[in-house]
Amino acid sequence: MSPTSFILVAIDGGAASGKSSTARALSERFHLLHADTGSYYRALSARLLHSGVSPAAPAAVRAELTDLHLGTHCSGRHAQLTIGGDPVPEADLRSDAVNAAVSHFAALPEVRAALLPYQRGLADLARTHGFQGLVMEGRDIGSVIFPHADLRIFLHADPAERARRRAREGQLDAVAERDRLDSSRENSPMTCPAGAVAIDTSHLALPAVVERIAALITSRLLGG
């Protein structure tokens, strides 16, 4: 393989599998733009809930999404979604109401279609902003958004450990139930993409996970 100057890294995995911490560390190490697509689904969910729209009413969801102007605020290496020019506050993204509703909104084709071109466009944004690449984390990044990413990673961990991680973050989040919904939906279900490197993070500390992926990135950048 010839050396690449821009690297596209897709990281998928369930709730609290360690995706965000891993992606953040890699973005710093290699100067990659970092896109946490779960936060994009959360931002749209917060906006829809704020407007009184339920996931049980797809026509109302479609109508509400039609006029939303999606943009990006780059905060350091982090690509934050803006709606109508404004980022959604972190506290709103992680609220109990959003935790409970986000998987239901994310299962709707209307919501996924609204985010698909936005997410793909972040690769160009990373290039034009001079980043060495893009690390995007989510559930369908290696399978649907960037099936030809240079590197596709799937992180998993046992449910009890993931529930402990969320509890340590002070969050009430039914990770197993969200994973069940995210894996069983018809549209872009969470899956380990063919050809992805799967890593079990249950008993691996973050630095070890980061080192393992960093070695793969270095090898791709050098053309291995």
Sites of contact with ligand DC (CB under 6 A): 15, 37-38, 41-42, 102-103, 106, 138-141, 178, 182
Using an 8 Å Cβ cutoff, are 116 and 127 in contact? Answer: no
Show Cβ contacts of residue 144 under 8 Å, excluding neighbours closer than 6 positions. 116, 188
Q: Which is nearer to ligand DC, 163 or 221 (CB)?
A: 163
* Closest CB 52 distance from ligand DC, rounded Å: 21
How far apart are alpha carbons 14 and 24 in whole angstroms?
A: 17
Q: Which is nearer to ligand DC, 7 or 175 (CB)?
A: 175
**Kind of pairing between the strands at 7-13 and 86-87:** unpaired
Show Cβ contacts of residue 112 under 8 Å, excluding neighbours closer than 6 positions. 106, 187, 188
Using an 8 Å Cβ cutoff, are 129 and 6 in contact? Answer: no
* Closest CB 17 distance from ligand DC, rounded Å: 9
* Closest CB 15 distance from ligand DC, rounded Å: 4
- Bridge partners, residue 199, by sequence: 155
* Closest CB 16 distance from ligand DC, rounded Å: 7
Q: Which is nearer to ligand DC, 176 or 222 (CB)?
A: 176
Q: Which is nearer to ligand DC, 38 or 55 (CB)?
A: 38
Phi, psi of 201 (to 5 degrees): -95, 5
Phi, psi of 216 (to 5 degrees): -70, -40
* Closest CB 38 distance from ligand DC, rounded Å: 2
Q: Which is nearer to ligand DC, 90 or 215 (CB)?
A: 90
